Amino acid sequence: MDESQSPGNHDSLNKQVQEIAEDCDQLPERYIRQQDKEYGNVTNYAAASSPAKIPVIDVSLLTSSPLELDKLKSAVTTWGCFQAVNHGIESSFLEKVREIGELFFKLSADEKKKYLREEDDVDGYGNDMVFSDDQILDWADRLYLTVLPKDQRKFQFWPQNPTHFRETLDEYSSKIELIYQVTLKALARSLNLEEDCFLNQYGTTEKKSARFNYYPPCPWTEKVLGVKPHADSSAITLLLQDKEVEGLQLLKDGQWVGVPVVPDALTINVGDQIEIMSNGIFSSKAGDQLMLARSDYVQKRVFSYDLECLYVNISNTLMWKKPVADVEERGRREDGAERRKVR
């Protein structure tokens, strides 16, 4: 549709979702979800089939237990994701991380706008990035910050309010970095590969980012999606979900299923880069499975935000000509189906 003919559409591109939710008596066209032809209709979370039994992996056992390593391999080949527990980040610190996100999004609109993303940048505060005229927008506001390498941090976008925001995110990104390294090493070992072979594909300059996703309570919950169906372009994504509010779903065997909130767990999913490096054995779509979406049916009156750490960002990453894993030797899924060859 011609944007100029759609009331409120120009405005909606410039406004944050939070402002639209507060001020508007009509849902802007650009946010109205459509039946997804490719992936089917994402059901409202509350109506989705029972929460998925996403495997729970004890990260502290990944270096010592062959059994846990097998569980990891099976989780990632079957689901493309897992719930990471015993990852070494204390519950009280996770609470602090949740708190800085929540306090930021609760600031006044004027205060938050000090950190607004610029048009040609991804870092900063804003709503969905617009790539095409007919793109349906996510019902979410985001604060996107490059966290590593440290010299690429753009501090003009790092909130100074709440006052402990910066130090808390700095500490969190160091802790997440350790979990990322343990996970990538374990994924490599689970394929009988040298443990650093995935990590070695990256230099020291690859960007790693944190994204605070805020899903404002929505007067039109059945008409919007917090996040459209997508696979991540990262190596892996480590997601700290809201403690109480569920909504994340993944596509499994053609059905959207809920990803439950496990207290203090990080939900880790693999992205496109691991798919390339593992020659499709670990798939960001887990053999057509791992598409993530978020419907916020249950969020009518609740404040909910998630924090994602996208490790590593595709924008700055080499494209691999040759995957690390060899499809001839290892390119069969556990169910025996051959994966597509990348080479």
CA distance linking residue 17 with residue 10, whole number of Å: 13
**In the bound complex, what is the minimum distance in angstroms from residue 281's beta carbon to ligand AKG?**
22
Write out the binding residues for ligand AKG, residues 225-254 only, by CB under 6 A.
227, 230, 232, 239, 248
User: Of residues 33, 112, 185, 294, which one binds ligand AKG by CB under 6 A?
Assistant: 294
Cα distances from 6 to residues 74, 132, 306, in angstroms, run: 48, 16, 31
Identify the DSSP state of 279. Answer: T
Sheet of 248-252: strand order equals: 227-230, 292-294, 248-252, 255-258
| Residue 306 binding ligand AKG, by CB under 6 A | yes
| Residue 296 binding ligand AKG, by CB under 6 A | no
C-beta closer to ligand AKG: residue 184 or 290: 290
CA distance linking residue 115 with residue 157, whole number of Å: 5
| Bridge partners for 35 per DSSP | none
Q: Which residue is nearest to ligand AKG (CB)?
A: 306
Name the nearest CA neighbour of 154 among 210, 235, 232, 215: 210
**What does residue 342 show for φ and ψ, rounded to 5 degrees?**
-95, -30
C-beta closer to ligand AKG: residue 19 or 296: 296
**In the bound complex, what is the minimum distance in angstroms from residue 54's beta carbon to ligand AKG?**
13
**In the bound complex, what is the minimum distance in angstroms from residue 300's beta carbon to ligand AKG?**
17
**In the bound complex, what is the minimum distance in angstroms from residue 269's beta carbon to ligand AKG?**
8
Number of chain positions touching ligand AKG (CB under 6 A) = 10
| Residue 128 binding ligand AKG, by CB under 6 A | no
Angle, vertex CA 50, rays to CA 212 and CA 338, nearest 5: 80
* Farthest CA pair distance, the chain: 62
Residue 47's CB is within 10 A of a number of other CB atoms, namely 12
Site string for ligand AKG, 183-222 (x = CB under 6 A): ------------------------------x---------
**In the bound complex, what is the minimum distance in angstroms from residue 283's beta carbon to ligand AKG?**
16
Alpha helices in 55-134 (DSSP H): 66-78, 91-105, 109-113
**In the bound complex, what is the minimum distance in angstroms from residue 231's beta carbon to ligand AKG?**
9
**In the bound complex, what is the minimum distance in angstroms from residue 257's beta carbon to ligand AKG?**
14
C-beta closer to ligand AKG: residue 227 or 312: 227
Q: What residues make contact with ligand AKG under the rule CB under 6 A?
A: 213, 227, 230, 232, 239, 248, 292, 294, 306, 308
